Structure 1
Amino acid sequence: MTDQSTVLIIEDEPAIAENLIHVLETDGYHVAWFATAGEGLIFLQNNSAALLVLDVGLPDGNGFELCKTIREFSDIPIIFLTARSDEIDRVVGLEIGADDYVIKPFSPREMLARIKLRIKAKAPMAEPKLVPDTTSEQAQPSHDLVATNFDYGVAGQMLGLTAVEFKILDKLISVSSNVLSREQLMIAADMAPEAAYERNIDTHIKAIRHKLKSFGMSERICTKRGFGYFYCIKSE
């Protein structure tokens, strides 16, 4: 069972870790801090936590590789922490299962807000909607993506969506063919309503398209330039 009061930090810079620990403990969280990938992995294999703040550059390994290892046994929300700002790094981080990406230097209070949002997003949600009943005269045309356990898949093969990705795709499908702005998608995904953060929707969309590509469906997430995104099934 997940410990909703504990945040795990794997970060080798003491000053950064101590700042985070201070704001988290002041807000009522317990914190487990480790400076190496190995120590953090052992902790997570034997204990539960509400969220992981993971540094990309660690003395004994790469945060991306550690994330992939963790995703083999845990769906804990993961926020990457790094000094690297290249878009490709953000995309890679999200594609392998991270929920957010924060660049150093950063505001500890902003990080706290993001942590709380991710933990909230991981809390039990309402069951996903059922696939439309095609036997009804008023039923909408069905698609072959099916929602199961807060993920989408085809014939039992799941996309492996993060919590944020699931909420974005679920919202797009629910209003199929209607354009949704970045702000509307942020609200649907329980993301922080900050102008600077709005562009993170684009990164999540790229990650979703990459996962859909495995099923030949990447073009189902369409862009309406200047407005936002919509879900469509194009005729062959």
Structure 2
Amino acid sequence: MRIRVAAVTHRGLARAHNEDALGWGGWALQGATPATITTEIRVERPTTLVVCDGLGGHAGGATASRLACEFLTAPETVAVSVGAEQTRAIIGALLQRISETLDDLGAQRAELRGMGCTVAGVTVHPDGSALVFNVGDSRAYRLEGRYLAQLTLDHRAAHSNRLQQALGGGRRTLLDPAFFDCRLPSDPGMLLCTDGLDDYAKPEAIERLFAAGAADLPAQLRDLALAGGGGDNVTVLQVMACDGEGDDDG
């Protein structure tokens, strides 16, 4: 099968640097992307796409989100023949290993102390099945009918923005990632985003653009967050099945 990807990241209006990152295929993109990046990928083996939101100051946060993107999306991460349960186990173990690696790096270098990141991602199999996962408060969405449905769990303390878990962060905790099995939808597909979107754009506005199949949806959602104050870095990645093999059933 083939998938279509469109993505954009922006430092926002209040931050001096962009600590977000997005990636697939073993690479990470950071910094300003004034134009949306678009590509099509032939999925011949399990393929992971992620967005990450860095924590711990500019140097630490940017490094953490970049490393997490690169490690999670490396092409050899999930073998061709594995099923859903094995994929979940592989991704879960990798998230824990990345978290421990970030903690180790933060302990070794003063400028990286406390480095960490949140992550939301999806691993797409050649048959169109998909595993959505997250740690922290980065999110994944799809449409159910014409309504916005969140596929991830926010790991935040009740009535607070304090994260209960993240990759790294210096706490050396045992992670409990959230997972959701589905099929990758066709147009308008699925969204992965950092909290710079949902903290500054109203859910009904996101839903309206998503349901309308808006052209250049990631850029329109970025602009929505900026119009809402743009107080954080914002990253949006849209991914969809583009060869008729998508399915909205969970």
**1 or 2, which has the higher helix percentage?**
1
Name which one, 1 or 2, has greater alpha-carbon Rg.
Answer: 1
> Do the structures match in fold with TM over 0.5?
no
**1 or 2, which has the higher strand percentage?**
2
TM-score, normalising length from structure 2? 0.27
TM-score, normalising length from structure 1? 0.28
Relative contact order (C-alpha < 8 Å, sep 6+): which is higher?
A: 2
